[in-house]
Structure 1
Amino acid sequence: MRYFTIVMIFPCLLAAIEQGPETRRQEVIRAVTQEVLLDVVVRDHKGRLIRDLRPEEIEVYDDGVRQKLTSFRLVTGSDVAGLGSEAPSSPKRLDPMRHLRLVSLVYEGLDNEARRLARGASMDFLKDTLEQNLYVAVFVIGERLHVLQPFTNDLVQLRKAVERATTSPYPQFVAEAQAIRKQLEAMEAEGGAATEAVSTNIPGRGRSDTGGIAGASTSAIMAQMTLNMLNFEETLTRAQQSRSSLFSLVSLVKEQVALPGRKTVIYFTRGLEVPENTIELLKSTISAANRSGVSVYGVDARGLTLDAQNSSSTSMLRSAANASQRQQTVEGASVTPEQVRVFDTGMSSIHANTQQALGNLSVSTGGFLVANTNDFREPLQHIHEELL
C-alpha cells in the first residue's frame, strides 16, 4: 500500500515586540515555527486506495486556519524494505515515516462468542509471514493492562499469545443475570401503582397508610428494590470499567511516541463504556493517540447481533423516567436516592451506546470501526493494506 507524507510549517507563536521606556530592559519575544509530518491514507467512497493524489487536492487546517503544505510525497512499504539492498559500506537512511510499523492486538471484556470471532480474525491477520519491519504485540485489558506477548515478528509466539488471550474462561451466569433483569423490569412495570403506594410507607420516605400496604404488590416492591440495587451498581461499574479501559489505552498509546513509523491498535471489545463523568478522559485518550501517531481500529467483537445498540440507553432512560414519574405522582413522600439521580441517569443514557463511543475513538484517531458483522476478514484486510 502507498502513503502520502505531508510536511507543513505551523506557526507556534506570532507576537510583536512591545517598546517600553528606554530606562527599562527591552523584552524579546521570539517567534518560532515547526514542521509537522502527517501520515495520510486516502480511500474513495468504495474503500479503494487512491494512489494518484495531487498536492492541490489536500487541505489541512489548524484551529480553522488553512496551513501551507511545504512537501508532499508518496511513501510505500518498499521504500524501507529496499534499504537492505544498499551496499554494506553505505549507511542506511531511515525513513522516519516507514522505518517501523507497530501493531497492538488488544482484547477486553469478550464473552465466549466474541472470543471465538476475535480469535478467528486475529489468526487470519497473522496467517502470513510478517514483513521485516512489522512488529506485533498482544495485550489484554482486565482491571489493568496486561501484556501477553511483547512486540515481535515471531508468528509462532504471536499465535500462542492470541490463543491464551481468547480462551480464558468467561462466567456462564452473565446471560442468566441479564434474563433475570428483564423479568424484574417487567414485574416493576406491572406493579407500578402498588409500588408508588407502598413507597410512601417505608420508614423515612413519607406518610404512613396501612391500607396502602395491605393492597400493595409485595413482588413489585421487591422487584423495584432489586432494580435499584442493580442500577446503582451499574452506574459505579460503568465508571470504573470506563476508567480501566481508557487509562489502559492511554498507557498503550502514549509510550509509542518515542518510536517513528506507523502505529496501529486493533482493539477487540464488546463496546467502550464512556459515562458522563469520563468523557474528558476519552478526549484525553484520543489526544494522546494523535500526539503519538497511533491509529485505533475498534472491533466490536459481538459480531452481528439482534440486540439494539441503544438498549442500554433505553433502559437507563426508562429508569430515570419511572423515578421522575413516581416523584410527581406520590404526594408527601420524601425524595428517594433513585429520584435524586434522575438527571445524572438521564445524562448517562445519552452516552450509554458503547458501539458509538468505540466508533468515536476509532474515527478520531484516524482508524475506523469494525462492527455489525461476523466476517472480519475484509475490514482486517483493509487494516493490513494500510500497514504495507
Structure 2
Amino acid sequence: MSRSTAVFFVALAFAGSFRLKAEATRVAWARGFRLQAEGQQPIFRSGVELVRFDLRVTDADGRPVTDLRPDEVQIVEDGKVRPLLLFQHIQEPAGAYADAAMRAVSAEVTTNRGTPRGHLYMLIFDQQHIAAGNEQIARRAAEAFIRTRVRPSDRIAVFGVPGPGPQIGFTADRTRAIAALSKVHGTLERNVKSPAGEMSIQEAYEIASGNERLATEVIGRLSSNLNADVGTAASFTMGGTADRGALRASDDPAAAQRIIQENARFVVAQADSTSRQFLQRMSDLIAQYRDIEGRKTVVLFSEGFHDQNVTRELEQVAAAASESYAVFVAMDLQRRAGDAGQLELPSTDRGMEIQSRLQPLSALAAETDGTLIIDAASHVEAALGRLADQSQDYYLVGFTPSDGATSSRGSYRRVNVRVTRPGARVSARTGYAVPPAVAASDRRRAIDAAIGAPFVQQALRVDYTTYVLRNDDNGRPRVILTLNANLPVRDSQHDAADIVFVVRDTRDGHVAASGTGTMPLPERPDPGAITGTSRYRVQFEVPPGSYLMRAIVREPGGLIGSGDRRLDVRSVTGPDVTTSDLVLGSAEGALPVRAEAYVSDGLGGLIEAYGRSPEQLAGLSVTASLIPARSDQAAITAQADLAETQQTGTGVTRRARFALPLTSIAPGSYVARVRVRAAGEDVADLSRQVEIHAGSAPAPTAAQNDLLRFTSRDVLASDIVRRLQTGSRQSTAPASGHVQRGLELFASDRFAEAAGELQQALKLDQTSAGTAFVLGWAWHGAGDERQAIGAWRAAAAIDPTLVPAHLALADAYLKISQPALAQQALRAGLSALPGAVELQVRLAQIEKR
C-alpha cells in the first residue's frame, strides 16, 4: 500500500459506508513557513498566513502577458523581496462563456484550473456625497449598463451607502438589480447652515485651514444678511435691538474672524463625520466579500469629499479592497457648471473644490490599481461600457506578510511589485494590511461563503471525479467521490484540511446530499513543488437524476479551492440489465481521479452488471479496448473475465475484470472503453481516460513502503477511533479506562505502553473492533509485526465490514512477503462486503504482481 493510500484507509470509517461526520476543527494560526536547507526551496506549510495580490501584466502593446513565470515576479517590502508561495494565472475563457462553463462542469475530471468565470461588478452609490438630482444620471447609466453590458456569466451587486438604499449582493438576476436602482437617492448639500449663517463646505474647509482672505469675504457677505449672527454679538450683550446694520459696522474684526473660524470648524467636523461614516461602512461592505475569490470591480458613484481628516479611514478601505481583490473605478459626478440654488463661488474656488473632492477618489483608484473617471457625469454610460471590455486575464500571487505587518495587524503596509521580464508592465495595488487573527467562526463563515460563491475558488487546486455503483443492500445508486487537492504541508499544529460537498437537484435546487469532514495534510511537498497532494474519498446516495455538485477544500490558513460538477445518476435498478461506472486500476491507487498505467505493468479494470435474476446476466459479455486519444481505432482489445453471479439484497450482481497488456502500446493519452452486451443486445458503452507511461511504476520510496511511517495523528483522526474515544468517555465499564489511557499513550507515540493498555482493554471487552484495530497500529508502531497482524485479524473477525482492518492486514502480509495471505485477507473482506470496490481494486493489484 502506498503511503497516501494507507493514510486514506486508516482515516476511513466503517467499510462500505465511509460517510462523513460533521466535526469542528480548531483553526490556529501560526507562521509555518521555512526554507529547506538544500537550495533554499520554499515549503508552503499549513496555517501560514498569505497575502494575495492580483496583478495585471501587459506587454509594450498593452496585450496581456499569458506566460509569466513565478521567478519573474518580485514583491518588495521595506527593501526585501518576499518569497512567493502562491502563483496562479487566471485566464478568460476562449470562446463563449456558456460553452466553456458546460465543458468544465461536464468533464470526466472536474478541476478548478482554467474554470471560466465572469466579471464581478459592485455598484456603490455614495448617497451622502451625491447632490439631489445628480443620482438620476448615475441611475440611468447603471440601468443601461446592467441591461446591455452585463452578461449572463457576470454577477452584479448594488448598494447605496449609507442606507436606506439598495442592498443587493452578487446576483445574476439583472431584473432585480435594475429594480434596486430606484432606491438610490442623493443627499449632498454643498451649502450648510451654521450659527454664523450660510456658507459652503468648501469655504468652511478653506477658512478652517487659515485662509483669512476668504474668511473676510465670507464675513462681508454674511454682514449683509440680516439673519446672520456675525456682527450682532454686541447688540445682544448690550440688550439693544436697534439698527443691526449700524451695529455690524462697529463689530470688532478680530471677534468676527474668531466667530467665523469657529463656525467653519463646526461645519468641517460635520462634513468629516459624514465622510468618515461613509468610508467605514464601505470598508465593512467590501470586507464582507473577502471570502469570495475573483477580481471585483467596484464602481463608486460620488461627487467626492474632502480627505484632510479621514486618511486612516481611506487606508482602511484600501486594506479591505486588498483583502477582497477589489479594484475601484471612481465615477466623478461633479457638474462643472454651477448648480442652481448653490452659492456662486469664483471660478478659481470652484476649481479648487473640484480638485479637493477628487483627491480621495483618485487615491482609492490609485491604491487599488483602478481608474478615476473625471467629469463622468458627461459620459458615464460610455465609461461604464468600457468596463465590460476589460480583460479578465490576471495573475494571483501570494506571499507571507512581514514581521512588522503581523505585529501591527490592520495597519496598511506599502509594497513595490516588480516584473523582471523586459518590456512587461505590471499594474497592482500599492499595499496590504494583515487582518485580525482568525476565529473559529471565521472558518464556518468562509466555508458558507464558498458554498454560495458565484464562481469556484481557485486558491487551492482541486481535482475530482465520481463513480456510480449500486448499493447491494437497498439497490440505490451509490456515488463515490474521489478527490485530489494540492495542500500546504502539515506542521506540528495543523494536520487536516476541511472538506465540504453539496449536491443540488438541477430541477429545483434542493439539496439532495451533503457532507463535511477533514482530509489529512501531506507530510511533504511533491517533487519540485512547495505543496503536496492529498487524496480523499467519500460515498453518498442520491436517487437517479441530474445534479450540480460543488466540492470545497479549506486548509487551516484559510485558502480555499472548490470545483463544480454536473452529476448525472442513472438508475441501477430496473427491469433491464444495468451497469456501474468503469473503474480502472491506477498507479495512484484505488478509484483514481486520473487513471495512470505503465507499459510494463499493464492496465486492469472492472465493472459491475446488475439485474433482477441470474438468467438476465447469464449471456453477459464484456469487451475492453484501449483507444488512442483523437482516434477511433483500438490499439488493443480483450474480453473481460466474468465472475459468478451473486445474489444481493435487491437483485443480482455479476462482476467483470479485465487486464490489458501494454508492452506494444506507445506511451500517451488513451481512452479505455468497455462495451457490455447481454442476450445479444447492447447494454452499456463505458469509457474513462487513462495516461500510459513508459517503463514500470516507480518503486515506492522507503517512506511509502514502510508502514512505520504512519503517524499517530492519522490513526486518531479516523472515525473508528473517534467513536472509540467517545464511547470510552461515556462508559463506566472497566475496559473504558484502559482504552482512554491507551489512546493517550498512542497519541504521545509511546506505542509499546499503549499496546499494553489496549491489550488489557481487549481482554476485558472482546467485542470492540475499534480497540483491536488501534491495538494493531500500536503493536506496529512498537515494531512487533506478528502482534500487529494478530490484532488486525481480531478486528476483522469482530467486524467483518471493517475495510481498513482488511487493508491493513493485507499490507502487513505483503510486508513479510506473503502475497497469498494478503489475497486471502482481501477475499475474506469481500465475502462480507461484495460491493467494496477498494478491496476489489486492491486484490486486482496484488493478483497482477
User: What's the TM-score once normalised by structure 2's chain length?
Assistant: 0.31
Of 181, 200, 203, which aligns to 1:162?
Answer: 181
Q: Does 1:124 align with 2:170?
A: no
Task: Give the distance between the partners of 1:103 and 1:187, measured in 2 at CA.
Answer: 44
Q: Does 1:243 align with 2:276?
A: yes
Task: Give the distance between the partners of 1:225 and 1:285, measured in 2 at CA.
Answer: 36
The residue matched to 2:363 in structure 1 has which SS?
helix
Query: Which residue does 2:170 correspond to in 1?
Result: 151
Task: Give the distance between the partners of 2:256 and 2:60, measured in 1 at CA.
Answer: 50
Q: Does 1:269 align with 2:284?
A: no
Task: Give the distance between the partners of 2:66 and 2:176, measured in 1 at CA.
Answer: 39
Q: Is the 8 A contact 2:165 2:183 kept in 1?
A: no
Q: Does 1:364 align with 2:396?
A: no
Q: Deviations over 1:221-243 (max 9, x none)?
A: 79768745641331221221122
Q: Does 1:376 align with 2:380?
A: yes
Q: Is the 8 A contact 2:91 2:114 kept in 1?
A: no
Aligned-partner residue type, residue 179 of structure 2: K
CA shift at 1:151, angstroms?
2.1
Query: Which residue does 1:138 correspond to in 2?
Result: 158
From the superposition, tell whether residues 305 and 91 of structure 1 become closer, same or farther in structure 2 (CA, over 3 Å): farther
Q: Deviations over 1:99-150 (max 9, x none)?
A: 46432111123114531331233123213263344211111113x5754333
Of 54, 62, 67, which aligns to 1:39?
Answer: 54
From the superposition, tell whether residues 308 and 368 of structure 1 become closer, same or farther in structure 2 (CA, over 3 Å): farther
The residue matched to 2:371 in structure 1 has which SS?
coil
Aligned-partner residue type, residue 290 of structure 1: S
Q: Is the 8 A contact 1:126 1:159 kept in 2?
A: yes
Q: Deviations over 1:71-102 (max 9, x none)?
A: 86653331675132247463542359964643
**Larger RCO (CA within 8 A; separation ≥ 6):** 1
1:202-221 correspondence to structure 2 within 5 Å: 217=249
Task: Give the distance between the partners of 2:311 and 2:346, measured in 1 at CA.
Answer: 23
Q: Does 1:280 align with 2:312?
A: yes
Q: Is the 8 A contact 1:105 1:136 kept in 2?
A: yes
Q: Is the 8 A contact 1:117 1:303 kept in 2?
A: no
Q: Deviations over 1:289-324 (max 9, x none)?
A: 102211122211114457799948979xxxxxxxxx
Q: Is the 8 A contact 1:191 1:220 kept in 2?
A: no
From the superposition, tell whether residues 234 and 214 of structure 1 become closer, same or farther in structure 2 (CA, over 3 Å): closer
Query: Which residue does 1:210 correspond to in 2?
Result: none
Query: Which residue does 2:405 correspond to in 1?
Result: none
Q: Deviations over 1:137-187 (max 9, x none)?
A: 111113x5754333212222212212331xx4758x866979953799635
Task: Give the distance between the partners of 1:372 and 1:308, measured in 2 at CA.
Answer: 19
From the superposition, tell whether residues 295 and 188 of structure 1 become closer, same or farther in structure 2 (CA, over 3 Å): same
Aligned-partner residue type, residue 91 of structure 2: T
The residue matched to 1:127 in structure 2 has which SS?
helix
Query: Which residue does 1:85 correspond to in 2?
Result: 103
Q: Does 1:188 align with 2:219?
A: yes
Task: Give the distance between the partners of 1:130 and 1:163, measured in 2 at CA.
Answer: 18
Larger Rg: 2
The residue matched to 2:112 in structure 1 has which SS?
coil
Over the residues paired in the alignment, what is the CA RMSD in angstroms?
4.8
Structure 1: gaps of 5 or more residues: 1-10, 16-29, 193-197, 205-212, 316-351
**Matched residue count:** 309
The residue matched to 1:256 in structure 2 has which SS?
coil
Task: Give the distance between the partners of 2:337 and 2:273, measured in 1 at CA.
Answer: 26
Aligned-partner residue type, residue 311 of structure 2: I
From the superposition, tell whether residues 86 and 312 of structure 1 become closer, same or farther in structure 2 (CA, over 3 Å): closer
Task: Give the distance between the partners of 2:379 and 2:75, measured in 1 at CA.
Answer: 35
The residue matched to 1:116 in structure 2 has which SS?
helix
Task: Give the distance between the partners of 1:70 and 1:169, measured in 2 at CA.
Answer: 45
Query: Which residue does 1:102 correspond to in 2?
Result: 120
From the superposition, tell whether residues 354 and 150 of structure 1 become closer, same or farther in structure 2 (CA, over 3 Å): same
Query: Which residue does 1:385 correspond to in 2?
Result: 389
Task: Give the distance between the partners of 1:113 and 1:33, measured in 2 at CA.
Answer: 50
From the superposition, tell whether residues 296 and 200 of structure 1 become closer, same or farther in structure 2 (CA, over 3 Å): same
The residue matched to 1:289 in structure 2 has which SS?
helix
Aligned-partner residue type, residue 386 of structure 1: Q
Query: Which residue does 2:79 correspond to in 1?
Result: 64
Q: Does 1:253 align with 2:271?
A: no
Structure 2: gaps of 5 or more residues: 1-30, 36-44, 204-214, 224-230, 238-244, 339-344, 393-849
Aligned-partner residue type, residue 188 of structure 1: I
Query: Which residue does 1:290 correspond to in 2?
Result: 322
Q: Pick which of 357-366 and 95-104 moved more.
A: 95-104
Task: Give the distance between the partners of 2:325 and 2:307, measured in 1 at CA.
Answer: 23
From the superposition, tell whether residues 273 and 57 of structure 1 become closer, same or farther in structure 2 (CA, over 3 Å): same
Task: Give the distance between the partners of 1:45 and 1:220, measured in 2 at CA.
Answer: 65
CA shift at 1:258, angstroms?
1.0
From the superposition, tell whether residues 382 and 70 of structure 1 become closer, same or farther in structure 2 (CA, over 3 Å): farther
Q: Percentage identity across aligned positions?
A: 16
Query: Which residue does 2:357 correspond to in 1?
Result: 354
CA shift at 1:271, angstroms?
0.4
User: What's the TM-score once normalised by structure 1's chain length?
Assistant: 0.62
Query: Which residue does 1:300 correspond to in 2?
Result: 332
Of 108, 120, 135, which aligns to 1:115?
Answer: 135
Greater helix content: 1
